[in-house]
Structure 1
Amino acid sequence: MKFAVYGATGMVGSQIVAEALTRGHQVTAVSHSGKTVEGTTSAAADLTDISAYRKLAAENDVVVLSIPPSRTGEDHQAFIDAHEEISETLVPARLFVVGGAGATEIDGVRLVDTPGFPEAYMPEARTMGTVLDFYTSASGLDWTMLAPAPEIAPGPATGSIVLGNDSPAGERVSTGDFAVAALDEIEDPKHLHRRFTVASA
């Protein structure tokens, strides 16, 4: 398959690129700078550039969005607006969105709304909750969102993962395990039009 991966040089996106290449897929590595990533075709594009998104979605089988909202205190409105427009843009490619743990749920309550949730992560969690709502309301778009365990950190694939639905599947996940779950789903879809979760076993 042909992939376009936004955020291809990031902590999670780079692992998804590496896993896709290992499995023999063709990858266009999309980043703000258009940085060259070995084994891929590079492209410079911002999430807010919907014309570039349409072009990439026409040229690839799958578009992966692995871009978190800003964690430096910047306003998230442009990020939110971009996802809203993407959720309303019908394209031939399947859309795979890297979600956030803070918007996952326990007994129907999002983690961000539970006691003790770290205040520093609240803006990102609320933004990703809004983004999820856009996609769950979308019509005619083939999308899937994968959310990590509450703790995600760089690390190799362990060979053992646990999947969940809207609730965290465990306490932590390595970026390698996350990438394996992402590619497994893309190659053999089982969660179309919904969000699921992954943790390292």
Structure 2
Amino acid sequence: MRIVLFGATGMVGSRIAAEARQRGHQVIAVSRSGRSPVPGVTATAANASDPAKVAALATGADAVASACAPPRDGSDPTEPFLALNRALVRGTRDAGVRRFMVVGGAGSLEVAPGQALCDQPGFPEAYAAEALAHRAALEYFRTDCDLDWTYVSPAAEIAPGERTGRFRVDDDRLLTDADGNSRISAEDYAVAFVDELEQGAHPRARMSVAY
């Protein structure tokens, strides 16, 4: 499979690149710096907000994936992040690629039916704006994206760790363990992400992954 991965040098993106490469997929790792996140991938610099550049890179690909994050400069990230995702979708569509995968956020996962994690008392203020930007992007995919997209939400806590290959997958629900913790390593998140790229088990839907 030929995968064009935007945001490939971040914590999550680099692990998706590594997991996909390990499985024998051809990975075009795209970032602003153009650095190679892992050996064996084709690294290139590009602006994901430029639909023409996205289309040029995506032409001939089997799938486009985005591990891009909302801006973290203190401004409201919602509109810029929506514009970024619209550009990625437009470029992917113009390239004739149907499969589109997104590294999503956990804040919009439900702790109870109709009750999002980010709306609960005590949700960290430092993460609120990013959570709302991710939620707006998910709503965009659900209402105005005609690609075969999948939005992959991690657990509430995601950090570098061990690749175990053991985790649970759900849809809109926040997954927690017996002690009420919601965790996933970035390595196991990448396993679930590439599994979905290969299997397409959640077309035009959100999925969540956690221990």
* TM-score, structure 1 as length reference: 0.93
1:136 and 1:35 map into 2 onto residues whose CA distance is 32
Q: Is the alpha carbon distance of 1:131 and 1:31 closer, same or farther for their aligned partners in structure 2, counting shifts above 3 Å?
A: same
Please identify, of 69-78 and 186-195, the stretch whose mean Cα deviation from structure 2 is larger: 69-78
**How far off is 1:67 after superposition?**
1.1
Q: Name the counterpart of 1:15.
A: 15
2:88 and 2:50 map into 1 onto residues whose CA distance is 10
1:80 aligns with 2:106: no
Superposition map of 1:28-67 within 5 A? 28-37=28-37, 38-67=39-68
Superposition map of 1:110-189 within 5 A? 110-170=116-176, 171-189=182-200
2:204 and 2:153 map into 1 onto residues whose CA distance is 14
Amino acid at match of 1:98: V
Which of 73, 97, 110 aligns to 1:105? It is 110
Q: Is the alpha carbon distance of 1:121 and 1:4 closer, same or farther for their aligned partners in structure 2, counting shifts above 3 Å?
A: same
Q: RMSD of the alignment, in Å? A: 1.5
Contact 2:28 2:44 in 1 (8 A): yes
Contact 1:58 1:93 in 2 (8 A): no
Structure 1 residues not aligned, in runs of 5+ = none
2:65 and 2:24 map into 1 onto residues whose CA distance is 16
What CA deviation, in whole Å up to 9, does each residue of 1:44-66 have, x standing for no partner?
11221111111222231111100
1:40 and 1:79 map into 2 onto residues whose CA distance is 26
**How far off is 1:133 after superposition?**
0.6
1:175 and 1:83 map into 2 onto residues whose CA distance is 22
Deviating 4+ runs (over 4 angstroms):
none
Amino acid at match of 2:163: A
* TM-score, structure 2 as length reference: 0.89
2:21 and 2:88 map into 1 onto residues whose CA distance is 26
2:90 and 2:139 map into 1 onto residues whose CA distance is 12
2:175 and 2:169 map into 1 onto residues whose CA distance is 6
Please identify, of 40-49 and 94-103, the stretch whose mean Cα deviation from structure 2 is larger: 40-49
**How far off is 1:70 after superposition?**
2.2
Q: How many residues align?
A: 200
Percent of aligned positions that are identical:
43
Contact 2:29 2:42 in 1 (8 A): yes
Q: Name the counterpart of 1:94.
A: 99
